[in-house]
Amino acid sequence: MSDLLVTGARLRDGRVVDVHVAGGRVVAMPEAGTGPRPDGVPVVDADGGLVTEPFVDGHLHLDKVRTLPLAGEAALAAYTADGMAESAASIDLASAVKAHWSVDLLLPNVREVLALGVEHGVLHVQAFVDVDSAAGLVGMEAVLAAREEFAGTVDVSVVAFPQDGVLRDPGTAELVEAALDLGADVVGGIPWIEDGEADQRAHVQWACALAARRGLRVAMLTDDAPDPAYRTTGMLAEAMVEHGLVGRGVACHARALGAYGEDDLATVVGQARAAGLRFVSDPHTGGRALPVRRLVAEGLPVGLGQDDVEDAYYPFGRHSLLEVAFLAAHLLEMRSAADLETLVDLISTSAARVLGLADHGLRVGGPGDLLVHDAVRTVDLLARHAAPRAVVRSGRVVAQR
């Protein structure tokens, strides 16, 4: 909990202020150069550059980061990903390499990618961690250890994620319970990969009942294929209402919604609103994306996520949410001035709403967490998608260029 003065900070609404942080909280934001200058307090001069909230990664498979070398050439060959077959191929490949997993193998990768995120201003992560018959609790142990190491700098919300299904992979339900006992804080799900609608519904019901019983949130990968026959996003919304989880659920990917006709899409939007369902899209890692612009216009909370970093699903990734937003500007056709502001919201304030982060936001009384950028205009922030000049957590500079 430190004191800091950030001078010449350009806010996204155009005001240029000095940000005074005391005891790790923002205590004043007067017009630049007008407030008292406290003695002996470290100063970061933003010099008229944009200052934003920290970035929030709503969806990262943190256990798998940098495991692409294990999957090898076969994974590269499967990267044509735009459909059901390819996505399923990635799941099978990623599953096969788990036989080689150990905490010693995974933990250095997890650390490196969290540290890379800090350099890029990512201070909140919703981490999906496989718990299934192939991985057991190995990935969970590695990620929980890293969460401990980064406490105070990065907040990692850990999802116990049954990557290979619950009905398809017997024993997984028990492993998810064990992961929650170890310290995972969100019940995960991937209903769309179960065999047929009845099993998909049973998967959603199991996860929501478990979350309700333990007083937790749910976060699921729904309908991760461009096939309008998939219906698990609506199933999730309905089950959230049924189990008293209103406002406590996140659907990631939901790519099938991009293939729905207007009537079906309107139905899911209505169900999501009633359930307080939030969305995370990662348009760069796969084919046809969730209709983000439409969901934002409907007032539903949406965030973007990195999804994967150098694994069987995606060969790139620097854990840079500005890079993700830059790619989304192309893939979602969002390049007007208003769209660019929305994209920055999707990796900061709006993503914080998706994860239910109460203590996020650059304001007097808020946390002393902020990013100082070189860019002066939002368009330059996205065009350069560079690491921030300074990354500040609770008034402490945790990364600097």
Ligand X SMILES: O=c1cc[nH]c(=O)[nH]1
Angstrom distances, CA of residue 57 to CA of 41, 65, 128, 280, 320: 31, 14, 11, 9, 9
Which residue lies nearer to ligand X by CB, 146 or 370?
146
User: Restricting to residues 243-272, which ones interact with ligand X according to CB under 6 A?
Assistant: none
User: Restricting to residues 170-189, which ones interact with ligand X according to CB under 6 A?
Assistant: none
- Min CB(202)–ligand X separation in Å: 19
Q: Name which position in 221, 309, 328, 381 contacts ligand X (CB under 6 A).
A: 221
- Min CB(32)–ligand X separation in Å: 44
Which residue lies nearer to ligand X by CB, 194 or 369?
194
- For 209, residues 6+ apart whose C-beta sits below 8 A from its C-beta are 243
- Min CB(253)–ligand X separation in Å: 7
- Min CB(90)–ligand X separation in Å: 7
Task: Give yes or no for residue 98 binding ligand X (CB under 6 A).
Answer: no
Q: Name which position in 278, 313, 323, 328 contacts ligand X (CB under 6 A).
A: 313
Which residue lies nearer to ligand X by CB, 308 or 310?
308
Q: Are 240 and 276 in contact (CB under 8 A)?
A: yes
Task: Give yes or no for residue 217 binding ligand X (CB under 6 A).
Answer: no
| Closest residue to bound ligand X by CB | 61
Q: Are 205 and 199 in contact (CB under 8 A)?
A: no
Site string for ligand X, 283-312 (x = CB under 6 A): ------------------------xx----
Task: Give yes or no for residue 91 binding ligand X (CB under 6 A).
Answer: yes
Q: Binding-site residue total for ligand X (CB under 6 A)?
A: 9
How far out from the chain centre does Cα 392 lie? Answer: 20
Q: Is 35 exposed, middle or buried (0-12, 13-18, 19+ CB in 10 A)?
A: middle
Which residue lies nearer to ligand X by CB, 230 or 313?
313
Which residue lies nearer to ligand X by CB, 94 or 398?
94
Which residue lies nearer to ligand X by CB, 53 or 57?
57
- Min CB(108)–ligand X separation in Å: 19
Which residue lies nearer to ligand X by CB, 26 or 62?
62
Maximum CA extent, the chain: 66
- Min CB(211)–ligand X separation in Å: 19
- Min CB(312)–ligand X separation in Å: 8
Which residue lies nearer to ligand X by CB, 50 or 146?
146
Site string for ligand X, 108-147 (x = CB under 6 A): ----------------------------------------
- Min CB(105)–ligand X separation in Å: 17
User: Restricting to residues 49-68, which ones interact with ligand X according to CB under 6 A?
Assistant: 61, 64
Backbone dihedral region for residue 216 (phi beyond 0: left; psi -120 to 50: alpha; all else: beta): beta
CA neighbor of 187 nearest in space, from 146, 216, 150, 149: 216
Which residue lies nearer to ligand X by CB, 55 or 128?
128
- Min CB(224)–ligand X separation in Å: 6
Which residue lies nearer to ligand X by CB, 62 or 269?
62
Distance CA 391, CA 23 (A): 17
- The residue ranges that bind ligand X (CB under 6 A) are 61, 64, 91, 163, 221, 224, 307-308, 313
